């Protein structure tokens, strides 16, 4: 089907824009830049890549069902995402190219893990688990976004905030809003799409019977 290679191509284009464009330099200076890179990888590139791989030869979810358990995948992503937002690890990713590459690579890995667990080749056998995994991920992304947006003090030091006209706290709060709106919403929409497909399948079964 043409939409699979198209989806993969769009995923690769997204990653190229994120990693080879101005965002890495922006992320060195502004928390907003870091958050834009984060949500573009896990909420745009990863689902597009999962859609392109689902059901194909490179879809590992059918061959490694334990690793691609939707709930387990969501928990793994929770630990990875929250760990990289600890001030010490975030500072390392901001000041070291190697650490930033490790951070971004881990974001893509766990994002792809979650989305393939939900939309991969075995999704019909565990649609409810896929919905639960995506909604759980949406919840912890939303919670982290709320904590960043509602914080009364800056947790991260970004030297470019003053040049942008934002205070460090405003920079952090805006980054939290980006995660809240785009990160959490992407997984919520994915869960609702799975739920819609499940309900449609049940209607088709009822109509045939």
Task: Walk along the chain (209 residues) and give the pLDDT tens digit of each residue.
Answer: 677 889 999 999 999 999 999 999 888 888 999 999 999 999 999 999 998 888 777 777 777 777 778 889 999 999 999 999 999 999 999 889 999 999 999 999 999 999 998 887 665 556 788 888 899 999 999 999 999 999 888 888 776 655 567 788 889 999 999 998 888 889 989 888 888 777 775 555 445 45
Per-residue model confidence (pLDDT) at position 147? 93
Per-residue model confidence (pLDDT) at position 36? 95
- List phi, psi (to 5°) of 22: -80, -10
Per-residue model confidence (pLDDT) at position 11? 96
Domain that holds residue 109: 2-208
Surface-to-core class of residue 189, CB atoms within 10 Å of its CB (0-12 exposed, 13-18 middle, 19+ buried): middle
Q: What's the predicted TM-score (pTM) here?
A: 0.87
Per-residue model confidence (pLDDT) at position 205? 46
Which of 159, 117, 174 shows the shortest CA–CA distance to 26? 159
How far is 166 from 46, CA to CA, in rounded Å? 30
How far is 38 from 88, CA to CA, in rounded Å? 17
Count of domains observed in the chain: 1
Inter-CA distances, 62 with 47, 115, 134, Å: 17, 13, 18
Q: Using CA atoms in the order 3, 75, 134, 139, what is the torsion angle rounded to 10 degrees?
A: -140
Surface-to-core class of residue 89, CB atoms within 10 Å of its CB (0-12 exposed, 13-18 middle, 19+ buried): middle
Which of 26, 48, 66, 41 shows the shortest CA–CA distance to 160? 26
Structure token pair of residue 59: 């879809």
Per-residue model confidence (pLDDT) at position 112? 93
């Amino acid at each position: 089907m043409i939409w699979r290679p198209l989806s993969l191509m769009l995923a690769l284009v997204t990653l190229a824009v994120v990693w080879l464009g101005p965002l890495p330099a922006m992320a060195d200076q502004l928390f907003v830049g870091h958050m834009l890179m984060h949500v573009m990888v896990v909420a745009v590139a990863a689902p597009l890549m999962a859609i392109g791989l689902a059901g194909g030869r490179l879809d590992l979810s059918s061959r490694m069902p334990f690793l691609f358990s939707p709930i387990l995948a969501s928990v793994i992503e929770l630990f990875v995402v929250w760990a990289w937002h600890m001030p010490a690890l975030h500072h390392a990713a901001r000041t070291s190219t190697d650490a930033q590459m490790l951070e971004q690579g881990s974001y893509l890995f766990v994002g792809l893990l979650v989305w393939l667990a939900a939309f991969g080749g075995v999704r019909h056998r565990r649609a409810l688990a896929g919905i639960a995994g995506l909604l759980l991920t949406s919840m912890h992304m939303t919670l982290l976004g709320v904590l960043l947006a509602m914080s009364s003090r800056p947790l991260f030091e970004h030297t470019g905030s003053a040049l942008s006209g934002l205070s460090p706290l405003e920079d952090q709060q805006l980054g939290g809003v980006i995660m809240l709106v785009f990160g959490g919403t992407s997984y919520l929409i994915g869960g609702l799409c799975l739920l819609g497909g499940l309900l449609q399948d049940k209607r088709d079964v009822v109509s045939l019977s």
